[in-house]
């Protein structure tokens, strides 16, 4: 091991604290220390190269080190890295806000820093909007079983996955959890402020896909009940589904659209909560100010790279390319589906999950991802589901290499001794 690698590992074991991680298992383990990225590849401090099969926790869109994105950051850094968006504007944030409104069909853009705060801002806007209209009864948020919307108190309260909200249960806004649209029949719409959903596919719920038309039906119910629709496109935004936003697959325009992760192409932390003119207008005047915001709101570097990334997403051939590459992933998933030990495969665009037969502890998922790392493919499981969500900008060749490597590990791991894997 190189001296530098040893030093970085010791610093990490001695001082680091990683998110969602059992540090008892982390300390002393030789995890890769990533030092470089290029296209679909990441490279560690030992010179080993890995295909980034989960887009660096679902953030990367055009590949690492994309020259246009690097240039946008470099150029902006030469002009201005950050100035306050409180009491001032800045050129890039102003441009990006206008551009995001254009492409989403919404009318106002509020910036923050990450997916959780994009959701938190929507919740706070919604609650204040209802209060300002004197709709005191409408305080309830509807959310979905096994949904995930982030870790701030409000966002975590919406979570339908126990391990993410147990520690703060009951401390946030009032939330009612539904398993599907059929349960709307039993809901008193007059109590509901808004419904929050991850459109088309629930990421943390092992990439479970909603039935076709569900989002359209939900929009219709919201319209009928005077309830707002908050879409969490933190994971699905910026082309992964084959449209710029997942809601566009079903022709739905929400009342709030929450964006983060891929907004900057996966380069810098930045988020946006977009909303309608009707909601925005209510916040004008004395006593109506939206008292919410963060020091790095509208960060110029983040906005500059987000503008450049968005232009790449809108280039001809980008979205059709995602759809075509999704089909290539589909071919591999079709093969995996037949393997012993693969319980199910799921895919929307270039978002896929391979659910393995496990005991629910996540041991099989961890084991398979560990073996994938050994053959140069980086991803993380969700329980026993292996996430395959490469950067939409990855080449077909990169995808095929990932597919072959994932296949080889699944065939090896899943084949019980003496039994041929059925392909």
- Residue with Cβ nearer ligand PMP (93 or 271): 271
CB atoms within 10 A of CB 408: 14
Q: What are phi and psi of 221, to 5 degrees?
A: -60, -45
Give least dist CB 148 to ligand PMP, A: 6
Close Cβ partners of 20 (under 8 Å, ≥ 6 residues apart)? none
Residue with tokens 């395959």: 388
b/e map 69-96, b = 16+ CB within 10 Å? beebbeebeeeeeeeebeeeebebbeeb
Give least dist CB 269 to ligand PMP, A: 7
Segment interacting with ligand PMP, rule: CB under 6 A, options 32-40, 91-99, 228-236, 405-413 = 228-236
Closest residue to ligand PMP, based on beta-carbon distance: 115
- Residue with Cβ nearer ligand PMP (232 or 398): 232
Q: Does 175 bind ligand PMP (CB under 6 A)?
A: no
Segment interacting with ligand PMP, rule: CB under 6 A, options 99-107, 145-153, 245-253, 279-287 = 145-153
Binder to ligand PMP among 149, 228, 240, 325 (CB under 6 A)? 149
Q: Does 37 bind ligand PMP (CB under 6 A)?
A: no
Segment interacting with ligand PMP, rule: CB under 6 A, options 108-116, 209-217, 364-372, 381-389 = 108-116
CB-based contact 386:54 (threshold 8 Å): no
For 250, how many CA atoms within 13 A lie in the half-sphere containing its CB? 21
- Residue with Cβ nearer ligand PMP (149 or 347): 149
Taking only Cα atoms into account, the Rg of the chain, rounded to an integer number of angstroms, comes to: 22
Q: Does 198 bind ligand PMP (CB under 6 A)?
A: yes
Q: Does 273 bind ligand PMP (CB under 6 A)?
A: no
What is the C-alpha to C-alpha distance for residues 322 and 396, in angstroms, rounded to an integer? 10
Q: Does 240 bind ligand PMP (CB under 6 A)?
A: no
Q: Does 150 bind ligand PMP (CB under 6 A)?
A: yes
Q: Does 235 bind ligand PMP (CB under 6 A)?
A: yes
Give least dist CB 14 to ligand PMP, A: 26
- Residue with Cβ nearer ligand PMP (200 or 204): 204
| Nearest Cα residue to 181 out of 213, 138, 154, 218 | 218
Q: Is 360 exposed, middle or buried (0-12, 13-18, 19+ CB in 10 A)?
A: exposed
Q: CA triplet 366, 370, 374: central angle to 5 degrees?
A: 170
Per rule CB under 6 A, count of chain residues that contact ligand PMP: 14
Site string for ligand PMP, 111-130 (x = CB under 6 A): ---xxx--------------
Q: Checking phi first, is residue 215 left (phi over 0); if not, alpha (psi -120 to 50) or beta?
A: alpha
Binder to ligand PMP among 39, 199, 203, 237 (CB under 6 A)? 203
What is the C-alpha to C-alpha distance for residues 240 and 96, in angstroms, rounded to an integer? 20
- Residue with Cβ nearer ligand PMP (246 or 313): 246
Residues that bind ligand PMP (CB under 6 A): 114-116, 148-150, 198, 203-204, 232, 234-235, 260-261
């Amino acid at each position: 091991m190189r001296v530098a690698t040893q030093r970085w590992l010791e610093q990490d074991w001695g001082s680091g604290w990683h998110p969602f991680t059992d540090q008892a298992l982390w300390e002393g383990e030789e995890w890769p220390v990533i030092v470089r990225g290029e296209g679909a590849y990441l490279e560690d401090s030992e010179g080993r190269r890995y295909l980034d099969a989960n887009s660096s926790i679902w953030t990367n869109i055009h590949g690492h080190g994309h020259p246009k994105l690097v240039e946008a950051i470099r150029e902006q850094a030469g002009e201005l890295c950050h100035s306050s968006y409180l009491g001032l504007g800045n050129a890039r944030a102003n441009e990006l806000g206008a551009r995001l409104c254009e492409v989403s069909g919404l009318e106002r853009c509020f910036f923050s820093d990450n997916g959780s705060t994009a959701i938190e801002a929507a919740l706070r806007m919604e609650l204040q909007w209802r209060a300002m209209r004197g709709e005191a009864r409408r305080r309830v948020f509807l959310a979905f079983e096994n949904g995930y919307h982030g870790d701030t108190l409000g966002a975590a309260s919406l979570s339908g996955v126990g391990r993410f909200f147990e520690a703060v249960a009951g401390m946030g806004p009032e939330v009612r959890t539904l398993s599907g649209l059929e349960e709307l029949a039993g809901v008193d719409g007059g109590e509901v402020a808004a419904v929050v959903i991850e459109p088309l596919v629930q990421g943390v719920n092992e990439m479970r896909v909603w039935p076709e038309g569900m989002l359209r039906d939900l929009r219709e119910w919201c319209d009928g009940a005077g309830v707002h629709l908050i879409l969490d496109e933190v994971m699905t935004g910026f082309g992964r589904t084959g449209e710029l936003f997942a809601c566009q697959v079903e022709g739905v325009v929400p009342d709030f659209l929450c964006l983060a992760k891929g907004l900057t192409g996966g380069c810098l932390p930045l988020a946006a909560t977009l909303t309608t003119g009707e909601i925005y207008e209510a916040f004008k005047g004395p006593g109506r100010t939206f008292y919410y915001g963060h020091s790095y709101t509208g960060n110029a570097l983040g906005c500059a790279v987000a503008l450049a990334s968005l232009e790449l997403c809108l280039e001809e051939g980008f979205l059709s390319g995602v759809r075509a590459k999704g089909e290539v992933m589909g071919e591999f998933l079709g093969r995996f589906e037949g393997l012993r030990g693969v319980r199910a495969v799921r895919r929307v665009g270039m978002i896929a999950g391979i659910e393995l037969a496990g005991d629910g502890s996540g041991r099989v998922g961890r084991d398979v991802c560990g073996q994938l790392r050994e053959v140069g493919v980086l991803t993380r499981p969700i329980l026993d589901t292996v996430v395959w969500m490469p950067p939409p900008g990855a080449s077909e060749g990169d995808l095929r290499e990932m597919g072959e490597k994932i296949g080889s590990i699944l065939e090896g791991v899943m084949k019980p001794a003496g039994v041929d894997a059925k392909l």
